[in-house]
Amino acid sequence: MNKNNTDKPDVSYPMRLQLFLARCGVASRRASEVYITDGRVSVNGVVQTELGTKVTEGDTVCVDGNKIQLEETKRYILLNKPAGFICSLSDEKDRPTAASLLSPYFSERLYNVGRLDMFSSGLILFTNDGEFAAKISHPSSEIEKEYVIETSLPIPHDLAERFMKGIRVDGVFYKCRDAQVLSSRRIRVVLIEGKNREIRRVFESFEIGIKRLTRIRIGSATIDGLQEKQFRELTEDDINGLYASIKTNEV
């Protein structure tokens, strides 16, 4: 697990408040907008709820009363999350978080890009770069995410084909980019959108239980060499590869 520093980002003022929050590692720019509209952000002691608010160098910005500042080092982390850990910075039920696996190694505030449900394992990205998070996680980027699923019963012969053509479950349309049966109870699935619990809901519609669901790839980044709970910092080539995976739409 190597730790590589990245160059300090270029900063120019005045800067939109949501961008400042994102560059401080609070959350993605879109999530930072919610922080602002919810009245959780103050500038020089005054709560700001307008998204057009700008900050200048020397302003004191606080989130929930805690002062924040620009992160000097941008981090891009690939973690192999075990099942049983949730993708949240904190949990009211005191369940273990994926972020807690990284906190002993990094002083920066890192947050997950996208999610894996508690019972799933595999790759999850963490960063303190809001711009990176916004581009990678935006649905229009269509970055491939690859999973291997182990089932409790034999996989129906038509599941892969129907999933690739598209399936409607409880009024929601699910469609994978690719699906390949590996054995009677193992299948590989590639998604580009990843709606909430998509794979589980599709398999439930076939009355097939999932014993293990593992994400093995995000774009060009693979799980190769990472055991559960292990992580590595993305190299410049890794980051460029992820950007190259983004569909050529504006995101």
* Judgement on whether residues 54 and 110 belong to the same structural domain of the protein: no
pLDDT in tens, 170-206: 999 999 999 999 999 999 999 998 788 999 999 999 9
Within a domain: 238: yes
The CA–CA distances, whole Å, from 247 to 139, 140, 168, 220 equal: 10, 7, 25, 13
Q: Quote the domain boundaries for residue 194.
A: 144-218
Q: What does the radius of gyration of the chain's CA atoms come to, in whole angstroms? A: 20
| Helix boundaries (H) for 194-235 | 198-205
Percentage of the chain beyond pLDDT 70 is 93
* Judgement on whether residues 162 and 59 belong to the same structural domain of the protein: no
Number of domains in the chain: 3
**Which DSSP category does 141 fall into?**
G
Within a domain: 118: yes
Within a domain: 170: yes
* Judgement on whether residues 148 and 214 belong to the same structural domain of the protein: yes
pLDDT in tens, 62-113: 999 999 988 778 899 999 999 999 998 777 788 999 999 999 999 888 889 9
In the chain, helix, strand, coil percent, each to 5? 20, 30, 50
Q: Judge whether 145 and 153 are in contact, CB under 8 Å.
A: no
pLDDT in tens, 196-212: 899 999 999 999 999 99
Within a domain: 167: yes
Mean pLDDT of 127-133: 86
The reported pTM is 0.79
Pairing of strands 121-127, 210-218: parallel
Within a domain: 5: no
How buried is residue 55: exposed, middle or buried, by Cβ count under 10 Å (0-12/13-18/19+)? buried
* Judgement on whether residues 128 and 237 belong to the same structural domain of the protein: yes
* Judgement on whether residues 205 and 160 belong to the same structural domain of the protein: yes
Spatial neighbors of 58 by CB under 8 A, at least 6 apart, are none
How much is the pLDDT for 88? 83
Token digits of residue 168: 């409607």
Domain containing residue 117: CATH number: 3.30.70.580
Domain containing residue 39: CATH number: 3.10.290.10
- With CA atoms as reference, report the closest residue to 148 among 97, 85, 222, 93: 222
* Judgement on whether residues 92 and 57 belong to the same structural domain of the protein: no
Within a domain: 8: no
* Judgement on whether residues 122 and 237 belong to the same structural domain of the protein: yes
How much is the pLDDT for 148? 98
* Judgement on whether residues 47 and 170 belong to the same structural domain of the protein: no
Element (H, E) at 212: strand 210-218
Within a domain: 123: yes
Residue 55 CA to residue 247 CA, distance in Å, equals 32
Catalytic residue annotation? 117
How much is the pLDDT for 10? 60
* Judgement on whether residues 109 and 148 belong to the same structural domain of the protein: no
* Judgement on whether residues 93 and 194 belong to the same structural domain of the protein: no
Within a domain: 97: yes
Token digits of residue 163: 């999933």
* Judgement on whether residues 45 and 167 belong to the same structural domain of the protein: no
* Judgement on whether residues 88 and 135 belong to the same structural domain of the protein: yes
Token digits of residue 246: 């983004």
How much is the pLDDT for 248? 52
For the chain, give me the number of helices (H) and strands (E)?
6, 17
Examine residue 14 and say whether the peptide bond preceding it is cis (omega within 30 degrees of 0). Answer: yes
Domain containing residue 200: CATH number: 3.30.70.1560
